[in-house]
Structure 1
Amino acid sequence: MSFSLIVFQGPSASGKSTLQSLLGLPRVVTWTSRRPRPGEVNGRDYHFASRERLEEMFRSGLMIEINEYKGNYYGTSLQSIRDIIEGGMPMSTVMEAQGAAAIKSMFPEQTLLVGVSVSKEECGRRLMERGTAAEEVERRMADFEREIEELSQCDLIIRNSDEHLEKASSIVELLRKGLLN
């Protein structure tokens, strides 16, 4: 089996993006309605578009998933995933469970879902250490149990607690080597 797309999912502050970065694969360029930050380039960091355009793309079936965060939309286009599957070069992304499930159902043999698990207390602590406002931490942690339950759809679950960071990194390194050989 040859995977073209590695999808990381898990609760806020579980370490999804960190493990994705350690994997070292090119990442899927997703879409957002927020304005570019200084230094960000359209098509490299994100595809930047208006809320209305992203809503229309979603209604038209051109987006696999779309989520709102801090008043902005974020999503993944179906065409970008098709291009990855057809291109053969493995890539990675971070997604919510619904989007990950949709991709897995469309491309079951080419998609590897990697769940990232950590305790609720550790996620809360990590968010606080990032300087996240208390009410935002509370909002993000409200979905923790559901997000942990949704990991049951994953092909692989990596425990990414502080005490298991070395193991988590080693698993990602083995995955990377397997994908690139």
Structure 2
Amino acid sequence: MSFSLIVFQGPSASGKSTLQSLLGLPKVVTWTSRAPRPGEVNGRDYHFTTRAQLGEMFHSGLMIEMNEYKGNAYGTSVQSIRDIIEGGTPTSTVMEAKGAAAIKTMFPAQTLLVGVSVEKEQCRRRLQERGAAAEEIERRMADFEREMKELSQCDLIIRNSDDNLDKACSIIGILRQGLLHS
């Protein structure tokens, strides 16, 4: 079996994006309603659009999922995932559980769901170290238990706690090697 899409999911500050970066695969280019930051290129970093257009795409069934973060909408298009699956080049993304489940339903044989688990207090500390405001930390931590339960849908769960970082990195290395040599 050869996976075309690796989807990371887990609680805020569990290390999903860090593990995704360590995997070293191209990333799914998602959509956002926020303005490009200096150096960002449309179609490479994100597909930049308006909130209204993104909402219309979502309600028309063109988006697998759509979420809000810091007042901006973000989403993943069905077509981008189809292109990845048809292209066959392993690619990765970070998603919330609902979007991950939708992709797994659409492309079960080509999608590997990787859950990232961590202790709640480590997530809280990581958010504090990032400089997140207290209310932001509490908002993100409010979903922790639900996000941990949703890991049950994953094909693989990596414990990314501070005392398990070497093992988590080794697992990602093995996964990368398997994907690139399959």
Same fold, TM-score > 0.5, yes or no: yes
Equivalent position of 1:173 in the other structure:
173
For 1:57 and 1:71, the matched residues in 2 are separated by 18
Query: What is the letter of the counterpart of residue 88 of structure 2?
Result: G
Deviation, structure 1 residue 148: 0.1
The number of aligned residues is 181
Q: Aligned to 2:54, what secondary structure does the other structure show?
A: helix
Equivalent position of 2:79 in the other structure:
79
Equivalent position of 1:131 in the other structure:
131
Deviation, structure 1 residue 175: 0.1
Structure 1 unmatched runs, 5+: none
Query: What's the TM-score, normalizing by structure 1?
Result: 1.00
Equivalent position of 2:12 in the other structure:
12
Query: What's the TM-score, normalizing by structure 2?
Result: 0.99
For 2:75 and 2:88, the matched residues in 1 are separated by 22
Q: Aligned to 1:41, what secondary structure does the other structure show?
A: coil
Query: What is the letter of the counterpart of residue 173 of structure 1?
Result: G
For 1:75 and 1:114, the matched residues in 2 are separated by 19
Equivalent position of 2:158 in the other structure:
158
Deviation, structure 1 residue 70: 1.1
Q: Aligned to 1:73, what secondary structure does the other structure show?
A: strand
Per-residue deviation, residues 101-144 of structure 1 (Å, max 9, x unmatched): 00000000000000000010000000000000011000000000
Equivalent position of 2:68 in the other structure:
68
Equivalent position of 2:33 in the other structure:
33
For 2:59 and 2:139, the matched residues in 1 are separated by 27
Q: Aligned to 2:81, what secondary structure does the other structure show?
A: helix
Equivalent position of 2:112 in the other structure:
112
Per-residue deviation, residues 4-43 of structure 1 (Å, max 9, x unmatched): 0000000000000000000000000000000111111111
Query: What is the letter of the counterpart of residue 30 of structure 1?
Result: T
Equivalent position of 1:89 in the other structure:
89
Q: Percent identity?
A: 82
Equivalent position of 1:148 in the other structure:
148
For 1:119 and 1:49, the matched residues in 2 are separated by 36
For 1:144 and 1:35, the matched residues in 2 are separated by 29
Q: Alpha carbon RMSD of aligned pairs, Å? A: 0.4
Structure 2 unmatched runs, 5+: none
For 2:118 and 2:88, the matched residues in 1 are separated by 32
